[in-house]
Amino acid sequence: MKLELRGISKAFGSFYANKNIDLLVDDAQIHCLLGENGAGKSTLMNVLYGLYQPTEGEILLDGNPVEFSGPGDAMAAGIGMVHQHFMLVPVFTVAENIALGSETTKAGGVLDLQVTRKKIREISDRYGFDVDPDAIVEDLPVGVQQRVEIIKALVREAKILILDEPTAVLTPQETDELLEIMRQLKANGTSIVFISHKLREVRAVSDVITVIRRGEVIDSVSPESSTTELANLMVGRSVELNLNKAAATPGEAVLQVKDLTVIDPAGSTTLNAVTFDIHEGEILAVAGVQGNGQTELTEAILGTQAVTAGSVKLAGEELVGKSVKQVLRAGVGFVPEDRSVHGLVTQFSIEENLVLDLYDRAPFGKGISMNLDAIKKNATQQIKDFDVRTDNALNPASSLSGGNQQKVVMARELSRDLKLFIASQPTRGVDVGSIEFLHRRIVAERDKGTPVMIVSTELDEVMELADRIAVLYKGKINGIVPGNTSREVLGLMMAGVTAEEAAEQAEFTKSDNEPVEAVPTSERSENQEGEGQ
């Protein structure tokens, strides 16, 4: 089916998330929408899927104008969407999830899941999905859940499939499998709108790439364009893609984590006897697919997560059992994974946010009063040092863009004398320009001799920053490998294969078949913004 968007605009109040967008998706074409977070890709797709009503413009299917008052209409017209956050009911079976909304029934509205099961098996066999119709969705790995979403669209006979940031939650191997599935779907005549900000994947699979920036279509280009070209189009200026960090000069092992174990109230082990150390002047990156214990690990060190067993020693001092304040005072700088919830009090001013952890001590606090002059001076200095784009330090933190918010958090945490710096998802949802800046700051902190721990689900970021890489899988450290370990090996380790086996397998596949277009190291950093919007 051929899809055409003509002059689509979507305004929220006076703000235009989409402005006069024209887009043409041909029959059996993989059309990529490339753009940074907040560029308006998802808004556009929600308009197309009937979740939003366009302020202006029209949608044409095979040349006929259509109007959708809700997702039901869009589905009926042959449009299917796989959302970034899966729209699956976790406690339902695969068959129940797929039947939902278009159930086959016997007399009296009694569910007939047999028909649905048969359809699932058909599609599953055709594309080699290997999905059990009676499995409970929450027990399935993320990659399989995504296939359930795709089956859901195919069962409803979608001719156009929208995939919204589908690779954000996948391991590199799962990503490759998904790209293969997309090619198969295309061969069967399905058109695909592929939303992404990851240049590697976009170039590997697209027929046409449309770049969107600040709600407007910038250009449509062919996938042969270089990553630098695409990155420049996406950001709107030329981007420096290479970090060029110097080799690490590790000193003593200052942080020693031993057998750290966390069991959540429901009784499942989220962190399982994790043991590692970090040396002075070294960046240890913790890699892994989201939800494998990363959050628990950082929070257990900080003290916001109850530890079941194990110890965390910083320069010989035990941190487990200490209050968060004591841990911070011991010299731990902490950038939480969700800055707007845990990193900032968004209603507070930038000035106040910059001293959230220091307000009670000199020079900012004295007795029961705060020294407002010192706070103001500090803010002026930090805003200059970290290039925070704002016209007034008294503006609330919520007025800042994602990148600038992250700069405020980072500035605050780095303003103390640190013995350990932990940054969780340091560049999630941050624009490319700020990523560059934040990365340089992290490396600068390392070069001062501070041990640094980076937790990131973005493999590109891990590979860019790390001197050593620890891979977390189901709450266990599945091996610690050098920073220059290949993407293939890391990908396998993220899926639970041990370091040694992963190295062997990667060697084997390299000679066997061509992996998805490898990107040279120097062109990598553009992929690093996160998936959250």
Partner 1 sequence: MTSSTLQPAITVLPSKKTPIILTAIAVIVFFCFGLMGNSQSAHFALNSAGDAFKLPELVFPGKASNIVIGLLLIAAAVYSWLQRKKSKTLATWIIALAAILFVLAFLIWVVAGADITTISLASLLAGAVVLAVPLVFGSLSGVLCERAGVVNIAIEGQLLGGAFTAALVSSLTKNAFAGLIAAGIAGALVSLILALFSIKYLVNQIIVGVVLNVLVSGITGFLFTTVMQEDPELYNSPAHLPVIEIPLLSAIPVIGPILFKQSVIGYLMYLAVFIVWFGLFKTKWGLRVRAVGEHPKAADTLGIKVNRTRFWNVTLGGIVAGIGGSFFTLVAIDSFTKEISGGRGFIALAAVIFGRWNPIGAFLAALLFGFADNLQVILTIIGTPVPSQFMAMMPYLVTIFAVAGLVGRSRGPAAAGEPYVKE
Would you tell me which residues interact with partner 1 (CB under 8 A)?
49, 51, 70-73, 75, 81, 83, 86-92, 96-97, 99-103, 105, 108-111, 259, 261, 263, 265-267, 269, 272-273, 275-276, 308-310, 468, 476-482, 498-500
Minimum distance between the CB of residue 198 and partner 1, rounded to whole angstroms?
24
DSSP for residue 349: B
471 membership: H or E segment, kind and range? strand 468-473
Going by C-beta distance under 8 Å and a sequence separation of 6 or more, which residues neighbour residue 82?
A: 146, 149, 150, 153, 161, 162, 163, 164, 166
* Spatial distance between the Cα atoms of 377 and 527, rounded to a whole number of angstroms: 36
3-state secondary structure of 149: helix
* Spatial distance between the Cα atoms of 288 and 283, rounded to a whole number of angstroms: 16
Find, among 21, 238, 143, 76, the residue nearest to 496 by Cα: 143
488 membership: H or E segment, kind and range? helix 487-494
Give whichever of 265 and 520 is closer to partner 1, judged by the CB atom.
265
Give whichever of 418 and 477 is closer to partner 1, judged by the CB atom.
477
* 8 A C-beta contact, residue 464 and residue 528: yes
3-state secondary structure of 343: helix
Minimum distance between the CB of residue 103 and partner 1, rounded to whole angstroms?
4
Give whichever of 79 and 383 is closer to partner 1, judged by the CB atom.
79
Query: Can you give the C-alpha Rg of the chain in angstroms?
Result: 24
3-state secondary structure of 179: helix
Minimum distance between the CB of residue 82 and partner 1, rounded to whole angstroms?
10
Beta 64-66 vs 369-370: how paired, if at all?
Answer: unpaired
DSSP for residue 155: H
Give whichever of 109 and 316 is closer to partner 1, judged by the CB atom.
109
Going by C-beta distance under 8 Å and a sequence separation of 6 or more, which residues neighbour residue 274?
A: 257, 259, 260, 261, 293, 297, 310, 472, 475, 476, 477
Minimum distance between the CB of residue 311 and partner 1, rounded to whole angstroms?
12
Give whichever of 358 and 465 is closer to partner 1, judged by the CB atom.
465
Give whichever of 262 and 410 is closer to partner 1, judged by the CB atom.
262
DSSP assignment of 80-105: EEE-SS----TTSBHHHHHHTTS--B
In which residue are the tokens 């084997």 written?
508
* 8 A C-beta contact, residue 150 and residue 82: yes
Minimum distance between the CB of residue 258 and partner 1, rounded to whole angstroms?
10
